[in-house]
Amino acid sequence: MDGLNVSIAFFFLIVGVCQVLRWLSKRLLSPGTHGCLAREFAGSFQLCSSCLELRMLIELGPWGGGFGLDVVLTLLFLLSAAHGASLDRASANPTVSLQEFLLLKSSLAVTMAKLLAQGVGAGLGWALTRLYWSWELTQLHFIQNLIAPECSSSIRASLPLAAFVEGSCSFLFHLVLLKVCQSHPLYRVPALAATVTFLTYTAGPYTGAFFNPALATAITFHCSGSSFWDYIQVYWLGPLAGMLAALLLFQGNIPRFFQRNLLYSQKSKYKVPKAKVTAQVEGDKPHRKKKEGKSNSEHRA
pLDDT digits (tens, 9 = 90+) for 97-121: 999 999 999 999 999 999 999 999 9
Whole-number average pLDDT of the chain: 86
For residue 229, which amino acid is it? W
Question: Is the CB of residue 100 less than 8 Å from the CB of residue 106?
Answer: yes
Question: Is the CB of residue 57 less than 8 Å from the CB of residue 138?
Answer: no
Question: Is the CB of residue 166 less than 8 Å from the CB of residue 200?
Answer: no
pLDDT digits (tens, 9 = 90+) for 120-178: 999 999 999 999 999 989 888 998 988 888 888 999 999 999 999 999 999 999 999 99
Nearest to 236 by CA among 201, 210, 258, 202: 210
DSSP string, 92-138: --HHHHHHHHHTTSS-HHHHHHHHHHHHHHHHHHHHHHHHHHHT--S
- Coil vs helix vs strand at 152: strand
Task: Please give the C-alpha separations between residue 90 and each of 66, 86, 97, in angstroms, as whole numbers.
Answer: 35, 9, 9
- Coil vs helix vs strand at 224: strand
Q: What are phi and psi of 151, to 5 degrees?
A: -65, 150
Task: Please give the C-alpha separations between residue 65 and each of 5, 59, 143, in angstroms, as whole numbers.
Answer: 11, 10, 11
Whether the pTM exceeds 0.75: the reply is yes
Window from 122-126, 131-135, 186-190, 287-291 with minimum mean pLDDT: 287-291
Separation between Cα atoms, residue 69 and residue 204, nearest integer Å: 12
Query: Is CATH 1.10.10.10 the classification given to domain 1-251?
Result: no
Residue range 228-251: average pLDDT? 95
Residues 6+ apart with CB under 8 A from 214: 44, 48, 92, 93, 94, 115, 118, 119, 121, 122
